[in-house]
Amino acid sequence: MARMHVGVVGCGSVGMLVVEALARTGIERLSLFDFDTVEEVNLDRLHEATIRDVRLHRAKAHLAARTARRAATATNFRAAPYELSVVEPAGFAAAADCDVIFSCVDRPWPPASPHPQPRRPSRCSWTQATTAPSTTPPTSAPN
């Protein structure tokens, strides 16, 4: 399991906990996806975020990579942050390279997306990535 390439989509409060836990378990390679930046309202629930991160408009994906590097137990650990949504072509292509993907998002589409927003709170789920990526954006899994 340590050699698996694991992706985490959504590096907010839930995603950050998942990222740290994965790094502590010995995973060697993480890809971290989040197009959002740290805001002051995130400080009470975003592990290791500081007011300096807010002032620098630090991307949540970069904060997650920093957190993962500090927590990592693997000797050859790599964390790659992506300031992308996985529904964008570049983000989708990067996510398709993962063996397993944890979805830790509060909504499956970017805020400006024409797609309807879900009415349920944030949750984290995982899925095994497919070996042959589809040309259509991923969709939210049913409960």
Number of structural domains (the chain) is 1
Does the residue 44 lie in any domain?
A: yes
Does the residue 87 lie in any domain?
A: yes
Does the residue 103 lie in any domain?
A: yes
Does the residue 48 lie in any domain?
A: yes
pTM of the model: 0.76
Domain housing 105:
5-112+121-128
Q: What is the C-alpha to C-alpha distance for residues 36 and 109, in angstroms, rounded to an integer?
A: 12
Q: Which residue from 125, 25, 130, 119 is spatially nearest to 68, judged by alpha carbons?
A: 25
pLDDT tens by residue, 8-62: 999 999 999 999 999 999 999 999 999 999 999 999 999 899 999 999 999 999 9
Does the residue 137 lie in any domain?
A: no
CATH number of the domain within which 12 lies = 3.40.50.720
Does the residue 24 lie in any domain?
A: yes
